[in-house]
């Protein structure tokens, strides 16, 4: 089987010839590994494009990133993606607003203002402190909506030719084909900040209903052309929806059911009418109290299943069976230790989940900088022994 065939078999609860293995790497992890002996020069991706993003009419080689996946023998989570832009158009221009010796304040492309360290060894690990958000009330939401026009032609790439993309999505085999979208909690928290967004469900519920209803309309209409063109050539929908932290969801089941559930169903119904029925939710944290409602919403896949947040793939599998396919749940903290701790983590989960079916092994989030290059190689070699039936 090809990697794509293996992934499709697993998420459809069929037995492949061997388990696929999916990971996603922080770029900063790869750069750290370069200092530890990882051959970055062997995995650099170079593609030809119109020079300098179209500023010169000449074909020119451009570095696009790294491909560590083939080196280690896994597949990228984000294999062949539908290139639809769901961000604000026009973007807010990323720029520095203030700075001193220690901090800088930046305007992000979503319109939020973030404060971060001026110097940090790892940019992603020095999380910014968000100090302002673009949407605060109805008036600012109406203004922001001008940037969320689903009919804006800039949402699709300049090379959007349907027959070409159909061919690409049919021929691709080095992983799954993927449509990424943002969920109803995720978009609100990004535009308003978590405290303001959460309080607004009680302070002005009518405003929240209006805002979430618009996001349903925006999502469906933005992806409509791609979905109706590619249909089941899209293997999986990756629905980003960070709505929980370590101890539980950021919202109650009551709020989820009243405000989100009907809109989830509208989007998942639209996808299924176009033969796309594998819809996976990405949420960090402990989402156990919401799992029944998440499945009722039409979601049938989960990642990353963070161990530190009390998510357990075996428990979920035994309770829900084939209602969810699962990806992740290998504790990144134990894997990064290597040796017996790493082996115990794999041995205690992968053989059981492989037999239960509908499971793809992966670190329970992105591959982080605590992994050394040698420890990840050790993990990769040991895990690959467990992939064969």
Q: What is the pLDDT of residue 387?
A: 97
pLDDT at position 124: 72
How high is the pLDDT of residue 11? Answer: 98
Distance CA 179, CA 276 (A): 10
CB 29 within 8 A of CB 332: no
Domain residue limits, the chain? 93-133
Please tell me the distance from the alpha carbon of residue 385 to that of residue 42, in angstroms, as a whole number: 25
Query: Which strand (E) or helix (H) includes residue 5?
Result: helix 3-11
CB 242 within 8 A of CB 185: yes
pTM given for the model: 0.95
Q: What is the predicted pLDDT for the residue at 127? A: 81
Sheet with 325-327, strands from edge to edge, namely 80-81, 177-182, 236-240, 279-282, 301-303, 325-327, 359-360
For 320, the token pair is: 């829900």
* Exposure on the CB side of residue 358, measured as CA atoms within 13 A: 21
Per-residue confidence of the chain (389 residues) as pLDDT tens digits? 999 999 999 999 999 999 999 999 988 999 999 999 999 999 999 999 998 888 899 999 998 888 999 999 999 989 899 999 999 999 999 999 999 999 999 999 999 999 999 888 887 777 889 999 999 999 999 999 999 999 999 999 999 999 999 999 999 999 999 999 999 999 999 999 999 999 999 999 999 999 999 999 999 999 999 999 999 999 999 999 999 999 999 999 999 999 999 999 999 999 999 999 999 999 999 999 999 999 999 999 999 999 999 999 999 999 999 999 999 999 999 999 999 999 999 999 999 999 999 999 999 999 999 999 999 999 999 999 999 99
Give CA–CA dist 210/293, Å, rounded: 21
Longest Cα–Cα distance of the chain, Å, equals 58
CA torsion 276→278→283→286, rounded to 10°? 140
Distance, in Å, from the CA atom of 197 to the CA atom of 133, rounded to the nearest integer, reads: 11
- Taking the alpha carbons of 349, 350, 356, 357 in that order, is the dihedral positive or negative? positive
Burial class (CB in 10 A: 0-12, 13-18, 19+), 172: middle
Sequence-separated (6 or more) residues with CB below 8 Å from residue 255? 201
| 211 Cβ contact list (under 8 Å, min separation 6) | 141, 188
Predicted pLDDT of residue 119: 86
Q: What is the DSSP string of 38-77?
A: --HHHHEEEEEEEHHHHTSSSEEEEEEEE--HHHHT-EES
Question: Which pLDDT belongs to residue 129?
Answer: 93
């Amino acid at each position: 089987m090809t990697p794509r065939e293996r992934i499709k078999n697993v998420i459809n609860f069929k037995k492949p010839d061997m388990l696929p293995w999916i990971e996603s790497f922080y770029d900063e992890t790869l750069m750290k590994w370069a200092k530890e002996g990882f051959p970055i020069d062997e995995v650099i991706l170079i593609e030809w494009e119109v020079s300098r993003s179209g500023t010169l009419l000449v074909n020119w080689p451009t570095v696009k990133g790294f491909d560590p996946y083939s080196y280690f023998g896994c597949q990228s989570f984000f294999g062949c993606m539908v290139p639809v832009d769901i961000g604000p158009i026009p973007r807010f221009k990323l720029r520095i607003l203030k700075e001193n010796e220690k901090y800088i304040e930046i305007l992000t492309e979503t319109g939020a203002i973030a404060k971060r360290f001026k110097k940090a060894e790892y940019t992603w690990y020095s999380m910014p402190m968000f100090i302002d958000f673009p949407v605060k009330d109805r008036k600012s939401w109406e203004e922001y909506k001008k940037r969320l026009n689903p009919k804006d032609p800039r949402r699709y790439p300049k090379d959007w030719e349907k027959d070409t993309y159909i061919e690409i999505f049919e021929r691709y085999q080095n992983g799954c084909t993927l449509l990424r979208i943002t969920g109803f909690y995720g978009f609100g928290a990004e535009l308003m900040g978590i405290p303001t967004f959460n309080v607004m469900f009680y302070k002005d519920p009518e405003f929240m209903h209006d805002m979430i209803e618009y996001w349903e309309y925006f999502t469906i209409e933005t992806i409509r052309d791609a979905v109706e063109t590619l249909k089941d050539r899209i293997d999986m929908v990756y629905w980003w929806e960070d709505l929980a932290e370590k101890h539980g969801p950021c919202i109650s089941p009551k709020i989820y059911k009243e405000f989100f559930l009907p809109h989830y169903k509208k989007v998942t119904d639209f996808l299924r009418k176009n033969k796309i029925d594998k819809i996976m939710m990405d949420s960090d944290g402990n989402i156990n109290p919401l799992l029944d409602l998440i499945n009722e919403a039409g979601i049938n896949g989960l990642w990353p299943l963070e161990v530190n947040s009390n998510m357990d793939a075996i428990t979920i599998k035994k309770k829900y069976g084939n209602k969810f396919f699962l990806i992740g749940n290998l504790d990144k903290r134990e894997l990064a230790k290597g040796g017996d701790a790493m082996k115990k983590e794999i041995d205690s989960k992968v053989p059981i989940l492989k037999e239960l079916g509908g499971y793809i092994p992966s670190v329970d989030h992105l591959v982080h900088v605590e992994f050394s290059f040698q420890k990840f190689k050790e993990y990769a070699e040991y895990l690959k022994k467990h992939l064969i039936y």
